């Protein structure tokens, strides 16, 4: 994620690998939660409180707690379960028809009933507004929506899409009250009315406050706290670190600097009486180098393959990221269905100058290859430029390249990508949903967002075939073929896969149930005190 371009993914943040358990617990609890209020700090901003606009990690954190979707991801799981719906499924003879039946007794936090009318209104509203910073792109496959009664919603899709349940389980599927939101314009009062486990009580530039929604009906268990205060640090990583180590916030989530994470982790590991702890787990955030195939240098296959032979991911992970990330050898990360190690298999994990030289010779290149690597610290943080400089050093030390590193602010970076100014540039991606499709379609589908002019007839055939396959395990062979094509043609070079981290007071528990590959941060699982 997020926004409409994957390179807008925010810096690495949060989490602990959760055991593969499905969500469970009391449904429709009248309790307003138990335990103390939790104060959380985050360097990301929340760009929107209206689900028709927000398509960034901070906004989706708010949506996942304040709004319900028809489906949701259970803690530790990647297969969606019914949320506002009692059941959902494709038609037995038509995989372009998806029908959901709502739970009984659903209510918004203002007391209004939630019916199929609200569901239809919410999806059509997002598509109609089509905000440039919103998730309408994820819902573009919807042809029409029918509501034969107050509890039934039927989606008719333009083409078969087995990932549709995952798409509507994300923030893009948030359901709003049709009486509270205009059908054709965004809400601008920083308020939100949903039916999720929490209510948004206040929101301003520096913090948002949430209380437990006692009328919630769904699979989330009883809230383990009485509310959450979310403080925004606006990218100020040092201030976020000080806030959690000084006890001003109970949890620091997303955006701590890599060196600060490593420092806190080392300090807490060496002390049984540490007041803060680092919670670590698996994640699906990734970063790649992207090559512009129309660039006079980066557009040559031999140049791209030579770079693939020379980049040392192990050194990058150790020296630039303090081992807070892991080497990535394919476009689909480990832990996601269909992952393979296509780049490891073809290029190995150690620099090989001889093979790199052979690749350049095959392209008819004599002398040093001159290139510039582009990045933006505005979104990726200073660690990204450190990583790019290390890659440049690796390439230059081979004697085959003369590479420098340049950066641009976010707006200029976006324009440079759009215009094709850059030959090699950094992108990042935080998934919208944990399926291999979400690591392939945005980058290699028709009208992909990388702006790198790569196309493949084989991939163009395989993408719709995987989308039409209801059994995701049955797509493994096709996704492996896609990954192998990418490794051969090198339109992008996978660099690393993020772990997830949170830094928390020793009094805080439950983070292991809030941070997993679904990227859903579940307020209701976090508890402060015994």
Tally of CB atoms within 10 A around 141: 18
Q: Which residues contact 226 (CB under 8 A, 6 or more apart)?
A: 32, 33, 34, 35, 36, 37, 211, 212
pLDDT value at residue 91: 87
Neighbours of 474 (CB within 10 A): 12
205 pLDDT band, cuts 50/70/90, is: very high
Between 290 and 517, name the one with better pLDDT: 290
**Residue 367 scores a pLDDT above 70:** yes
Rounded distance, CA 371 to CA 392, Å? 9
Tell me: pLDDT of 122 over 60.
Answer: yes
Going edge to edge, which strands form the sheet with 492-498? Answer: 325-327, 492-498, 286-291, 424-429, 369-375, 401-407
Q: What is the DSSP letter of 113?
A: B
At 50, the pLDDT band (50, 70, 90 cuts) reads very high
Q: 25-35, pLDDT tens digit by residue?
A: 334 444 466 78
Q: What residue spans of 35-102 are helical by DSSP H?
A: 57-66
| pLDDT tens column, 256-268 | 887 888 888 887 7
Residue 360 has pLDDT above 90, yes or no: yes
What is the percentage of the chain residues whose pLDDT exceeds 70? 92
Pair of tokens at residue 233: 């640090």
Cα distances (Å, whole numbers) of residue 423 to 296, 374, 399, 491:
8, 8, 20, 11
- Could you tell me which residue, 93 or 465, shows the higher pLDDT? 465
pLDDT at residue number 166: 94
Alpha helices in 228-294 (DSSP H): 237-245, 258-269
- Rounded mean pLDDT of 234-240? 89
Lowest mean pLDDT among 272-276, 301-305, 512-516: 272-276
What is the SS3 assignment for 16? coil
pLDDT at 440 over 50: yes
* In the predicted structure, residue 11 carries a pLDDT above the cut 60: no
Q: What is the pLDDT of residues 471-513, one digit of tens each?
A: 899 999 999 999 999 999 999 999 999 888 899 999 999 998 8
Q: Predicted confidence band at 284 (pLDDT cuts at 50, 70, 90)? A: confident
Inter-CA distances, 374 with 345, 391, 426, 488, Å: 27, 12, 6, 23
Rounded Cα distance between 332 and 312, Å, is 19
pLDDT surpasses 90 at 169:
yes
pLDDT confidence tier of residue 20, bands split at 50, 70 and 90:
very low
Query: pLDDT band at residue 95, thresholds of 50, 70 and 90?
Result: confident
| pLDDT at 338 > cutoff 60 | yes
Range of lowest pLDDT (238-242, 244-248, 375-379, 418-422): 375-379
- What does the pLDDT look like over 286-330, one tens digit per residue? 999 999 999 999 999 999 999 999 999 999 999 998 888 899 999
Q: What is the pLDDT of residue 237?
A: 87
Mean pLDDT of 388-417: 95
Amino acid 272: pLDDT: 63
Query: What's the confidence (pLDDT) of residue 273?
Result: 62
Q: Report the greatest alpha carbon distance in the chain.
A: 73
pLDDT for res 32:
64
Count the Cβ atoms, other than its own, within 10 Å of residue 112.
16
Mean pLDDT of the chain: 89
User: pTM of the predicted model, to two decimals?
Assistant: 0.85
Q: What is the pLDDT of residue 23?
A: 29
Helix (H), strand (E), coil (C) string for 380-439? HCHHHHHHHHHHHHHHHHCCCEEEEEEECCHHHHHHHHHHCCCCEEEEEECCCCCCCHHH
Q: Is the pLDDT of residue 24 over 70?
A: no
């Amino acid at each position: 994620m997020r926004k409409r371009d994957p390179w807008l993914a925010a810096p690495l943040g949060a989490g602990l690998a959760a055991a593969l358990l499905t969500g469970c617990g009391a449904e429709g609890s009248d309790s307003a939660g138990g335990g103390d209020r939790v104060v959380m700090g985050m360097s990301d901003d929340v760009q929107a409180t209206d689900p028709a606009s927000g398509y960034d990690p901070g906004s989706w954190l708010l949506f996942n707690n304040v709004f319900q979707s028809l489906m949701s991801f259970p803690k530790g799981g990647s297969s969606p379960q019914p949320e506002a719906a009692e059941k959902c499924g494709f038609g037995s003879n038509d995989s372009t028809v998806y029908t959901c039946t709502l739970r009984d007794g659903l209510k918004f936090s203002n007391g209004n009933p939630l019916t199929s009318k609200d569901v239809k209104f919410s999806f059509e509203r997002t598509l109609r507004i089509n905000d440039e910073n919103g998730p309408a792109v994820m819902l573009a496959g919807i042809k029409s929506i029918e509501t034969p009664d107050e509890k039934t919603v039927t989606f008719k899709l333009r083409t078969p899409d087995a990932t549709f349940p995952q798409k509507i389980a994300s923030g893009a599927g948030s359901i709003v009250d049709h009486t509270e939101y205009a059908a054709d314009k965004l809400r601008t009062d920083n308020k939100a009315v949903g039916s999720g486990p929490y209510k948004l009580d206040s929101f301003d530039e520096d913090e948002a406050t949430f209380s437990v929604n006692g009328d919630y009906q769904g699979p989330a268990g009883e809230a383990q706290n009485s509310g959450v205060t979310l403080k925004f640090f606006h990218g100020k990583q040092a201030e976020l670190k000080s806030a959690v180590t000084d006890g001003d916030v109970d949890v620091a989530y997303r955006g701590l600097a890599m060196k600060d994470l490593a420092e806190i982790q080392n300090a807490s590991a060496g002390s049984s009486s540490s007041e803060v702890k680092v919670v670590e787990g698996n994640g699906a955030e990734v970063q790649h180098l992207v090559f512009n195939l129309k660039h006079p240098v980066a557009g040559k296959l031999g140049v791209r393959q030579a770079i693939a032979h020379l980049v040392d991911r192990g050194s990058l992970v150790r020296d630039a990221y303090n081992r807070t990330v892991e080497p990535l050898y394919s476009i689909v990360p480990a832990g996601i269905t269909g992952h393979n190690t296509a780049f490891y298999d073809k290029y190995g994990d150690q620099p090989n100058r001889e093979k790199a030289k052979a690749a350049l010779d095959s392209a008819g290149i004599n002398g040093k290859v001159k290139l510039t690597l582009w990045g933006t610290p505005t979104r990726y943080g200073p660690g990204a430029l450190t990583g790019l400089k290390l890659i440049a050093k690796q390439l230059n030390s081979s004697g085959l390249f003369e590479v420098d590193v340049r950066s641009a602010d976010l707006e200029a970076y976006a324009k440079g990508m759009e215009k094709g100014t850059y030959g090699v540039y950094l992108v990042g991606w935080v998934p919208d949903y944990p399926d291999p499709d979400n690591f392939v379609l945005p980058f290699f589908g028709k009208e992909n967002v990388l702006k790198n002019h790569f196309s493949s007839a084989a991939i163009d055939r395989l993408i719709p075939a995987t989308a039409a396959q209801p059994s995701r395990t049955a797509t493994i062979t096709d996704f492996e073929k896609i990954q192998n094509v990418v490794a051969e043609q090198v339109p992008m070079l996978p660099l690393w896969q993020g772990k997830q981290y949170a830094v928390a007071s020793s009094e805080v528990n439950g983070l292991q149930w809030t941070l997993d590959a679904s990227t859903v941060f579940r307020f209701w699982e976090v508890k402060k005190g015994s």
